[in-house]
Amino acid sequence: MEFTAKVIADLLSGKIEGDKNATVSSLSKIEEGTEGTLSFLANPKYLKYIYTTKSTIVIVNKDFKADKKIHTTLIRVENAYDAFAKLLNYYKQQKEDKTGIDKQASIAFDAIIGADAYVGPLAVICEKASIGKKSKIYPHVFIGENVEVGENTIIYPGVKIYPDCIIGNNCIIHAGAVIGADGFGFAPQQASDYAKVPQVGNVILEDNVEVGANTTIDRATLGSTIIRKGAKLDNLIQVAHNVEIGENTVIAAQTGLSGSTKLGKNCMVGGQVGFAGHIKIADGVKFAAQSGIPSDIKKENEVVMGYPAFNYTKYQKSYVYFRKLPDLVNRISELEKKIKELEGN
């Protein structure tokens, strides 16, 4: 795809300095720019590259002032970083603007495919499933019976969505994610073995949810495992049965949420955080990476770390002491030895 400076400036409501017919076909970092590419300058750290870059077009802030001659076409905007992000989204949408059903796709006779949707080769869409208009189902995706997928949702290659799950509008599910596998439910038996507890609920992803690659979200035992609107899940996350994740909560990779945990809205969870089951977390709580959460957190907007996790500031102060524990133990041992010697004398 090729874009002229004029097309880009119109899209970004920017002002051109240079050749309005300058054409670009790809994107690059400003320090690695080559002819035919588009870059941006937002961080002053990279200012020197504006004078040497070979990028054909560079997006800059409206108030940018050059100290010497610039050889590239500039597009001035209110905020170069935001404008470039907008352009990236537009570029991606244009690049992935696929429609139609591939002849190698397997679609049940009573499945519903919305207008302008895309279904790639070797995708499987089972009985009574529905795909909303303009959604994209990439190759090797499995959509189970009675699954509902909303509009403008993207499901990347290899995703598996088990029966009866509901996916909202404008969701993104990345490659290898599994939505709706059985929750980890087993009942101990007298013979020291386990009986599987049927998992008959489903998973609901509300609108604007993003799920990272190889993340797993288990179906509920009864009812629903729910990811509320706007939540963003990184790669390699485990969400157990009957968990509820609040609106606009973001969770980093390798985090695990045990069954029936309720995580509030607008929370931020670092990588490798572990949540015990059947606990409730207030809105706006932030968790440092590798924290362990064994019980409820009732205070909103709390910041916690450690295991068991507690207030971040108190943890930092405590760390000053417990990192010295080996030295303190040695000192106490020496004092005890001296006390015994004195008692002996």
Active-site residues: which are they? 241
Q: What is the CB neighbour count within 10 angstroms for residue 252?
A: 20
DSSP state of 67: S
Q: What is the CB neighbour count within 10 angstroms for residue 21?
A: 10
Q: Residue 277: which residues within 8 A CB-CB, separation 6 or more?
A: 240, 258, 259, 260, 261
Whole-angstrom distance, CA of residue 285 vs CA of residue 246 = 11
Cβ distance 16 to 48 under 8 Å?
no
Cβ distance 183 to 204 under 8 Å?
no
- Residue whose structure tokens are 């929750």: 183
The DSSP bridge pattern shows strands 210-211 and 172-173 to be: parallel
Q: b vs e for 82-113, b when ≥16 Cβ sit within 10 Å of the residue's Cβ?
A: ebbeebeeeeeeeeeeeeebeeebebeeebeb
Query: Helix (H, G, I), strand (E, B), or coil: what is residue 323?
Result: coil
